[in-house]
Amino acid sequence: MASPTPIAPAQKITTESLRGSLGFLLRVAQLRSFGHFFAVLGDEEVRPGEATVLDLIRENPGIRQGMVSKTLKIKRAQMSKMIREMEREGLVARAVPEDDRRAIELRLTKEGEAMIAGITARFPEIERRTQAALTPAEGAELRRLLIKLNGLDKTKGEDSDDPDDER
């Protein structure tokens, strides 16, 4: 319950440079979106990262673990842990392809399918809450700008200035 009379802040502070900092704005926005995720799906035993991974595997059955890593910008070490845990939980099946015995192909189990189906069904609600403060047009524009900012609009092969780009 929100206080009927919100407590007045004890201090007046200036946040000049904060609003100018894209990094800060992005961090806060991401914190909020995580918060909305847990507000809607807190009862499910899945974290945001796992949900994204499951969804990507659903869309691309047989996708290789490394490709999931690169696509979602999740470090390989972390990916390894996550996948093994989800395998243990019976959500994901791992298979070594014959043409490359280093790699691992990922597919969802029945349980995984059911799990991600129940989750993605509530994605729209999360999105709705996340951008509740924006008009629909603004929400769409925000997405477009973020996609462009992230270089996800380039089809492929472009030179990236991504500092996290590990090749």
Partner DNA sequence: TGTTATTTGTTTCCTAGTAGACAAAATAAA
Partner DNA sequence: TTTATTTTGTCTACTAGGAAACAAATAACA
Q: Which residues, numbered 41-100, are part of the site for DNA (CB under 7 A)?
A: 47, 49, 64-66, 69, 74-84, 94, 99-100
Q: Give the residue, chosen from 44, 122, 123, 136, that forms a contact with a copy of itself under the rule CB under 8 A.
A: 123
Q: How far apart are CB 140 and DNA at their closest, in Å? A: 27
Q: Give the residue, chosen from 16, 43, 45, 98, that forms a contact with a copy of itself under the rule CB under 8 A.
A: 16
Distance in angstroms between the alpha carbons of the first and the last residue of the chain: 49
Q: Give the one entry of DNA, a copy of itself, none that residue 46 binds, where binding means its C-beta sits below a cut-off of 5 to 8 angstroms depending on kind.
A: none
Q: Give the residue, chosen from 7, 13, 121, 137, that forms a contact with DNA under the rule CB under 7 A.
A: 7
Is residue 1 classed as helix, strand or coil in its secondary structure?
coil
Position 143 contacts a copy of itself (CB under 8 A) = yes
Q: Smaller CB distance to a copy of itself: residue 38 or 88?
A: 38
Instruction: Give pairs for 138-147: CB < 8 Å, separation 24+.
Output: none
Q: How far apart are CB 65 and DNA at their closest, in Å? A: 3
Question: Quick count: other Cβ atoms within 10 Å of Cβ 44?
Answer: 15
CA dihedral 122, 74, 90, 36 (to 10 degrees): -20
Q: Give the residue, chosen from 104, 115, 116, 126, that forms a contact with DNA under the rule CB under 7 A.
A: 104
- Lookup: tokens for 112: 């995984």
Q: Smaller CB distance to a copy of itself: residue 30 or 114?
A: 30
Q: Smaller CB distance to DNA: residue 144 or 160?
A: 160
* Inter-CA distances, 15 with 12, 18, 25, 112, Å: 10, 5, 12, 45
- Lookup: tokens for 55: 């969804």
